[in-house]
Structure 1
Amino acid sequence: MSYKGDTFRKCGVIGAGTMGAGIAAHMASCGVDVVLLDLDGQVAADGVARQVKAGGFMMPEFAARVTTGSTRTDLGLLQDCDWIVEAVAERLDIKRALFAQIDTVRRAGCVVSSNTSTIPLAELVASASSELAGDMLITHFFNPPRHMRLLELVSGPRTKHETVERASHFIDHVLGKTIVPCKDTPGFIANRIGCYWLTAGLGEALKLGISPELADAVMGRPFGFPSTGMFGLWDLIGIDLMPGLIRSLQQALPAGDAVQAYEAEPELVAAMLAQGQKGRKSGSGFYRQSADRRVKETFDPTTRSWRPREVPVLPHADAATLIASDTLAGRYAWAVMSRTLAYAAALVPEIADRPDQVDTAMRLGYAWRSGPFELIDQLGKQAFASRLAQDGQAVPPLLAAAGADGFYGQAQGQRTVLVPTSAGAVREPVVQPAGVIALPALRLARQPVFTTEAASLWDIGEGVGLFEFHTPMNVFTPTLLESLRRTLAETPKHFRALVAGNDGRVFSAGADLKGMLAMSEKNDKAGLARFLADGVDTFTALAAAPFPIVGAAGALALGGGCEFLLHTSADALHAEASIGLVESRVGLLPGWGGVARWLLRCHEAGLSSEQAAKQVFAGVLRGVAAPCGFAAQAQHLIRRTDRIVMNVDRLIATARDWAAALAADFTPATPRAVVLPQRGVLAEFLAQQQNDLSPHDRVLGSGLVEILSGDAKTPVSLSEITDRVTTYFLDLVLSDPTRARIAHMLETGKPLKN
């Protein structure tokens, strides 16, 4: 039997805690049958139930793919697994005993891995059979497994190369994780550096007497760290858990390691834990809500009492200027980041072969916008090294060897990175995994076919072009619509197919609300009508293109972004992409043909005219986006034949290959007319929801009744349905309730119910 990674069909997970159950849930979401075992079978069943409640499954029904049981009685359920993951307590004796049990039931070639974050693989396999050791790895997931892309992979001298290859293929292509190979060292990469950063962050804050709010502001936006900052992250992880994590590193690392300079549990932390302040899980840590839930409060480390939370103002917004300033914020920034970045530089090649591997691990594992070596380059490598020396801190050899150009550079259209060698360091290309098209690398390697302020057209090989849009939030402005029309005209001259996508966190947030609001406030009905007609005409041309167009959405596709995807020949969605016609949130209806196109997809999926109309009516009126690709498919926003891609890094390449295949024998689809139910059907449907709707939503609902109603016999063209929408849209966009909703959305990012 073949054990190629993409043929894995059944996996086992032992340990049904938060991590183990989360791994099982993610595997099930990826289409795999899973066995989840714990000492007590009920614990395993409860673990699945918790994951359903917490959103660990992409769709609740995927929980049916998980079979639960007890390690005491049900180990036999693992005998036909392709991969078994251990996620039990961090005790070497427990893990070794469990692996010995697994070895008695697993079939030959079954991959076995530990999710340990602290115990080296060499110790785990020390007493294992040669057969088991050859199939063993460490696969360190990050929590929550569904959402965290990083997986740290550790193999050892006894691990078979085939085992690494098979597991890597499955983890990458099926589970959608970004694999970073790590050395077999304590804490691996992300937690080794991340825990040190957290330890130094708290320790230096206590030394300087800086407030939690100011410390969090410093360790936030200036460095591209998450908004939780330092004290907020202690609260999020758990103040009760952090000392144990730090102690485990200190016990595993030599006396001279920098992490030994800080207390694992400072007296302040011990006092807080004695009072039950464990962080978010207990409702209070360094932060909490007041008893009446009206005031955000801070536990002041100096007074040891609660006070209203402050809103600090940083003296400088960028990291380099801040870290150089002689201010409390600047001194704290230098104290923490000088030590953290120097620590990271000193650990290569101990923990990883290359700086770019470390940067990837910190970006994906701790949500840093830039990794430590990228941050050093941003601060200025020479200036950073000089200040380290002036401060009496050791300058790591790799930092000294980086040269004037820093760790990263450019050569022959490729990004390069400084890699340590036995003789010093050499520059090597930053290599993309096979089958990945990364836009940053594409931009370095070649020039676009054309570019505007709103979009670019690229050659991505195989006779396929890439239409990349890059307006703020990728919203559709008049310029972007014009760029799309130009792309539709230019593509046949250069390519046989087209992919539409980008590399941002937002595929498209829809139409340009700011521009629409400006026209509305001027009562510029003619301008709004032109913008509306421009979008309809452009998207209609998109759907009628004589070559295949594959939409590649890796993230949010809302409003006009969703309407765009409803007009393409085919769609490739990242599994976590959220898609929906959400115009009702700003008091509007989808104006660029999305209502008609969604209705058509519902009919093509086999829904009756009444079912299809109700599906679209409810979806548009409620303005709720499908939370993942599978939900979008279930709601017929994408077709059953459209593709859901697990690894977002492979999205554009997948869409490219699909577009090339479609081009071989492509004829644009001719949209058929659809039958609409009688008016009374939707009028009654609206009446059933009236009590749950705001006054303006009732107006939207009344409009949808007229738009989606017919005589239940005569087919209605898609263009006629869109024309009906246009009539209501122009009245709505000029109304005060809609203006208020748009203004509120632009100001707060949240919908207003009026």
Structure 2
Amino acid sequence: MDAKRIIRKVAVLGSGVMGSRIACHFANIGLQVLLLDIVPEGAAAGDKKARNKIVDDALAFALKSNPSPIYLKSFASRITTGNFDDDMPKIAECDWVIEVVVERLDIKQKVFEKVDKYRKAGTLVTSNTSGIPIHLMAQGRSDDFKQHFCGTHFFNPPRYLRLLEIIPTADTSKEVAGFLTEYGEKYLGKTTVLAKDTPAFIGNRIGIFSIMTVLHYVDKTGMTVEEVDKLTGPAIGRPKSATFRTNDVVGLDTLVHVANMLSQNAPDAELGELCKMPDFINTMMVNKWLGSKTGQGFYKKEKTATGSEIYALDLKTLEYKPSQKVKFASVETAKTVDSLKDRLKILVGAKDKAGDFYRATFFALFAYSSNRIPEIADELYKIDAAMNAGFGWEMGPFETWDALGVAGTIKEMEAAGSIPAQWVYDMLASGAESFYKTEDGMRLYYDIQSKSYKAIPGTENYILLDNIRPTKTIWKNSGTTVTDIGDGILNLEFHTKMNTIGSEVIEGINKAITLAEESYRGLVVSNEGANFSAGANVGLILMLAVEQEFDELNMVVKAFQDTMMRVRYSSIPVVVAPHQMTLGGGCEICLHADKVVAHAELYMGLVEFGVGLIPAGGGSKEFALRLSDELQEGDIELNNFKERFLTIGQAKVSTSAYEAFDLGYLKKGRDVVVMSRNRLLAEAKRQCLVLADEGYVQPAPRKDIRVLGKQSLGLAYVGANSMFSGNYISEHDVKISQKLAYVLSGGDLSQPSPVSEQYLLNLEREAFVSLCAERKTLERIQSILTGGKILRN
């Protein structure tokens, strides 16, 4: 990346759904943003409020949307609004100008004419178009403009979808394309893919083919909406929204628009024919059954006497019927297999309706993807990366093909009429058996031009456990693996279901610390699961509580507490690198680490209150300790106590790593945030080495924690009773609140007093076990385990 080029301020031209949210994401990473749009018709000169109404309303709408496009509401202050007529000269102050106006070439060209007039030389200019050839937009512009111009196609919503396609033209300088590729990955947290200026680029080109293949297969075979969504979701490593629910969210009109554009502009015959819409789609378009935006699409929600019910569209009769749960024997069999690669082999090999579906759609996808090289990309890994990051597929077309076996699958593909590109046959003839392989901890891809394996560019900055685990594992049990990640640092990963914490994880944490203390310099706790940890194994807690094995339950909780204290007081630094859901016990590990290196997308919280309990893995103790460290005399003490009490009592979960600081889960000045998920472990290792190099000293257990006793206990009791009187909480909620307040207050001490960590751990453990004896707590745990729903009994 060009070290001289620094991005401080960005202009976003166009404040629609994409523009406003792109502006928010640049504000997320700390940049100043200028967001401009057109002046409303009739707005008087000098009336700034009226002239900025379109852009101001669009930004306000974006900031209120759910999920939020911004990490913290306060970050919105980094965005300044304006309009094209009055404020375009201000782009001279910007380092990067991004156009996100309506998808019309003539309008874009007019906008770029103004941009060229006001921008300073060297300013980056990019377009977020998804359908217009990039090179056409730069026609008539200056040479400096053309050299610094390309496409930067964000996927919606920009904060959450990781794909960013970089599309240079023949005039774009290599420095600019390289800079944007690295900047997008490192600072915006994206998977950046260098694409060619071809219709729909990479992600949508392959994605539309996949969707249209499914639609035509359904039209031919009569499969139902529910059946297809059962087969195209998590069963094959894809989002829960699968095919038809995803279309409802995106909008059927969007799908039809992109498909029509591809039908007219894509050079390949396969897609041109496939983009002809089935009759049921045409009827839905006429009826305006476009999905969520019109209240009905492939699904709709109907009000019933007991609440509401989901109805699904019968594609034969085009009538809505109550959505049916469907089962396939092969899917039920494969469900028990954790490895996606192994699961795919079962599913594609199945001799039932599901197997027929998978073979037809996968084989067509494999052939189409192989035949798009070198048209849309020169390297196969770019196609997989685009589908991983843009569509949420765990495995892209070539990764899936590898899992099934390239050579063996080709014979079946040929029989089905799905013929792959010649380069695949040439690859196999050369002795290469797969599209990817791993050597020395580095993932390599088959490079078609050189007919050899090469490292994926940029991945030298990553530490990916999947790559190094096979040769660097030094210990493992059924739920954890300890891996040597180099330079004297170990990594501990969880791989239980949802990375929940049970006895095997407790054993793994203790073993990893022992190994690190004996022969290494530090320990990192991280994993590559969808979520860092969903918390403690509540099924075990329920089992012990129902059997009234309270002594054993007390021992289980104490073992967890002792392990957390070992994380805190080991003789080597322990750094935890959480991402996505980090709840309950997963949060408590972070609370006890020497440092947390968090991914920006972090949903962290102590959520035990929701199942009728309080945090008892040191979480309640740690909140009391942190409260003590920030307390001041007088009323502020009680205000701070109230905040900490409500964070746990309301089971607050952060919506980003930055909000986790405000909620007290992360420590300002100590913990750090990383935008790139791929760089998380490498940064955690670096931070662990820094702690070791600074001469890490084993801390001493705290005995100076100042608790407020009856002073704060009374405040909490009055507040809980008031909430109960107003019917905001249940009688059982009051009981849990009182238990929590008792721990955070250090008991009913007559005056503020210093206490030890062990004193508070004993209190929280006693409260936890006593709540496990309550019938209503058991009902809450049962509700979570059986239906995933929080019961407020």
For normalisation by structure 1, the TM-score amounts to: 0.94
Aligned mates of 1:703, 1:713 — CA distance in 2: 18
Match of 2:288 among 273, 276, 281: 276
Match of 2:527 in 1: 502
One-letter amino acid of the structure 1 residue matched with residue 656 of structure 2: C
Residue 631 (str. 1) matches residue 663 (str. 2): no
> For the structure 1 residues 680 and 324, does the alpha-carbon distance in structure 2 shift closer, same or farther, using more than 3 Å as the test?
closer
> For the structure 1 residues 410 and 724, does the alpha-carbon distance in structure 2 shift closer, same or farther, using more than 3 Å as the test?
closer
Question: Contact conserved, 1:285 with 1:299, CA < 8 A, in 2?
Answer: yes
Question: Contact conserved, 1:509 with 1:557, CA < 8 A, in 2?
Answer: yes
User: C-alpha offsets along residues 4-49 of structure 1, whole Å, 9 cap, x if unaligned?
Assistant: 46x4221111111111111011111221111111113322111211
Question: Contact conserved, 1:83 with 1:112, CA < 8 A, in 2?
Answer: yes
SS in 2 for 1:719: helix
Deviates more, 1:410-419 or 1:171-180: 410-419
Match of 1:409 in 2: 437
One-letter amino acid of the structure 2 residue matched with residue 375 of structure 1: T
Match of 1:452 in 2: 477
Shift of residue 559, structure 1, vs aligned partner: 0.8
Question: Contact conserved, 2:161 with 2:389, CA < 8 A, in 1?
Answer: yes
SS in 2 for 1:73: helix
Deviates more, 1:374-383 or 1:87-96: 374-383
Aligned mates of 2:688, 2:556 — CA distance in 1: 30
Question: Contact conserved, 1:220 with 1:227, CA < 8 A, in 2?
Answer: yes
Shift of residue 335, structure 1, vs aligned partner: 3.4
Question: Contact conserved, 1:15 with 1:86, CA < 8 A, in 2?
Answer: yes
Match of 2:206 among 168, 177, 193: 193
Match of 2:302 in 1: 290
SS in 2 for 1:116: coil
User: C-alpha offsets along residues 109-132 of structure 1, whole Å, 9 cap, x if unaligned?
Assistant: 221111111223322223221101
Aligned mates of 2:699, 2:642 — CA distance in 1: 25
One-letter amino acid of the structure 2 residue matched with residue 419 of structure 1: D
Match of 1:22 in 2: 21
Match of 1:666 in 2: 696
Match of 1:681 in 2: 715
Match of 1:437 among 451, 457, 463: 463
Residue 621 (str. 1) matches residue 649 (str. 2): yes
Question: Contact conserved, 1:349 with 1:420, CA < 8 A, in 2?
Answer: no
> For the structure 1 residues 722 and 176, does the alpha-carbon distance in structure 2 shift closer, same or farther, using more than 3 Å as the test?
same
Match of 1:643 in 2: 672
Residue 469 (str. 1) matches residue 494 (str. 2): yes
Residue 90 (str. 1) matches residue 120 (str. 2): no
Aligned mates of 2:346, 2:150 — CA distance in 1: 44
Match of 1:492 among 501, 517, 520: 517
Aligned mates of 2:358, 2:525 — CA distance in 1: 41
After TM superposition, the structure 1 = structure 2 runs for residues 104-119 of structure 1, keeping only pairs within 5 Å, are 104-119=117-132
Deviates more, 1:386-395 or 1:148-157: 386-395
Question: Contact conserved, 2:535 with 2:585, CA < 8 A, in 1?
Answer: yes
Match of 1:586 among 600, 611, 623: 611
Question: Contact conserved, 2:219 with 2:278, CA < 8 A, in 1?
Answer: no
Shift of residue 681, structure 1, vs aligned partner: 2.2
Match of 1:735 in 2: 774
Question: Contact conserved, 1:552 with 1:651, CA < 8 A, in 2?
Answer: yes
Aligned mates of 2:241, 2:753 — CA distance in 1: 57
Q: Which runs of 5+ in 2 are unaligned?
A: 40-51, 332-342
Match of 2:791 in 1: 752
Match of 1:62 in 2: 75
After TM superposition, the structure 1 = structure 2 runs for residues 360-371 of structure 1, keeping only pairs within 5 Å, are 360-371=385-396
Shift of residue 630, structure 1, vs aligned partner: 0.8
SS in 2 for 1:152: strand
Deviates more, 1:21-30 or 1:257-266: 257-266
> For the structure 1 residues 298 and 488, does the alpha-carbon distance in structure 2 shift closer, same or farther, using more than 3 Å as the test?
closer
SS in 1 for 2:473: coil
One-letter amino acid of the structure 2 residue matched with residue 686 of structure 1: A
Residue 316 (str. 1) matches residue 330 (str. 2): yes
SS in 2 for 1:546: coil
Aligned mates of 1:725, 1:66 — CA distance in 2: 44
Question: Contact conserved, 1:221 with 1:227, CA < 8 A, in 2?
Answer: yes
Aligned mates of 1:265, 1:517 — CA distance in 2: 52
Aligned mates of 1:176, 1:414 — CA distance in 2: 21
User: C-alpha offsets along residues 251-298 of structure 1, whole Å, 9 cap, x if unaligned?
Assistant: 2222x4311113444433232222221112111112112243633222
SS in 1 for 2:752: coil
Match of 1:695 among 708, 727, 731: 731
Deviates more, 1:344-353 or 1:389-398: 389-398
Aligned mates of 1:552, 1:589 — CA distance in 2: 24
Shift of residue 599, structure 1, vs aligned partner: 2.7
Shift of residue 222, structure 1, vs aligned partner: 4.3
One-letter amino acid of the structure 2 residue matched with residue 441 of structure 1: N
User: C-alpha offsets along residues 227-252 of structure 1, whole Å, 9 cap, x if unaligned?
Assistant: 33333332222112211111111222
Count matched residues.
Answer: 748
Shift of residue 595, structure 1, vs aligned partner: 1.1
One-letter amino acid of the structure 1 residue matched with residue 684 of structure 2: A
Question: Contact conserved, 1:578 with 1:629, CA < 8 A, in 2?
Answer: yes
Q: Which runs of 5+ in 1 are unaligned?
A: none
User: C-alpha offsets along residues 478-527 of structure 1, whole Å, 9 cap, x if unaligned?
Assistant: 23222222222221333222211111122122222122222112211121
SS in 1 for 2:207: helix
SS in 1 for 2:668: coil
SS in 2 for 1:350: coil
Question: Contact conserved, 1:25 with 1:63, CA < 8 A, in 2?
Answer: yes
Shift of residue 177, structure 1, vs aligned partner: 1.0
Question: Contact conserved, 1:190 with 1:365, CA < 8 A, in 2?
Answer: yes
> For the structure 1 residues 606 and 247, does the alpha-carbon distance in structure 2 shift closer, same or farther, using more than 3 Å as the test?
farther
Question: Contact conserved, 2:330 with 2:352, CA < 8 A, in 1?
Answer: no
One-letter amino acid of the structure 2 residue matched with residue 8 of structure 1: I
Question: Contact conserved, 1:232 with 1:286, CA < 8 A, in 2?
Answer: yes
Match of 2:743 in 1: 707
For normalisation by structure 2, the TM-score amounts to: 0.90
One-letter amino acid of the structure 2 residue matched with residue 688 of structure 1: S
Question: Contact conserved, 2:181 with 2:193, CA < 8 A, in 1?
Answer: no
Match of 1:248 in 2: 261
Aligned mates of 1:200, 1:382 — CA distance in 2: 23
SS in 2 for 1:568: coil
Aligned mates of 1:323, 1:640 — CA distance in 2: 49
Match of 1:149 in 2: 162
Question: Contact conserved, 2:438 with 2:467, CA < 8 A, in 1?
Answer: no
Shift of residue 632, structure 1, vs aligned partner: 0.7
> For the structure 1 residues 271 and 122, does the alpha-carbon distance in structure 2 shift closer, same or farther, using more than 3 Å as the test?
same
Shift of residue 410, structure 1, vs aligned partner: 4.0
After TM superposition, the structure 1 = structure 2 runs for residues 41-56 of structure 1, keeping only pairs within 5 Å, are 41-54=52-65, 55-56=68-69
SS in 2 for 1:128: coil
Match of 1:611 among 623, 639, 642: 639
Shift of residue 100, structure 1, vs aligned partner: 1.9
Deviates more, 1:504-513 or 1:184-193: 504-513
Question: Contact conserved, 1:510 with 1:560, CA < 8 A, in 2?
Answer: yes
Question: Contact conserved, 1:199 with 1:262, CA < 8 A, in 2?
Answer: yes
Match of 2:197 in 1: 184
Deviates more, 1:91-100 or 1:222-231: 222-231
Match of 1:171 in 2: 184
Match of 2:315 among 265, 289, 301: 301
One-letter amino acid of the structure 1 residue matched with residue 785 of structure 2: L
> For the structure 1 residues 612 and 106, does the alpha-carbon distance in structure 2 shift closer, same or farther, using more than 3 Å as the test?
same
> For the structure 1 residues 228 and 579, does the alpha-carbon distance in structure 2 shift closer, same or farther, using more than 3 Å as the test?
closer
Deviates more, 1:706-715 or 1:557-566: 706-715
Aligned mates of 1:392, 1:476 — CA distance in 2: 48
Aligned mates of 2:499, 2:666 — CA distance in 1: 20
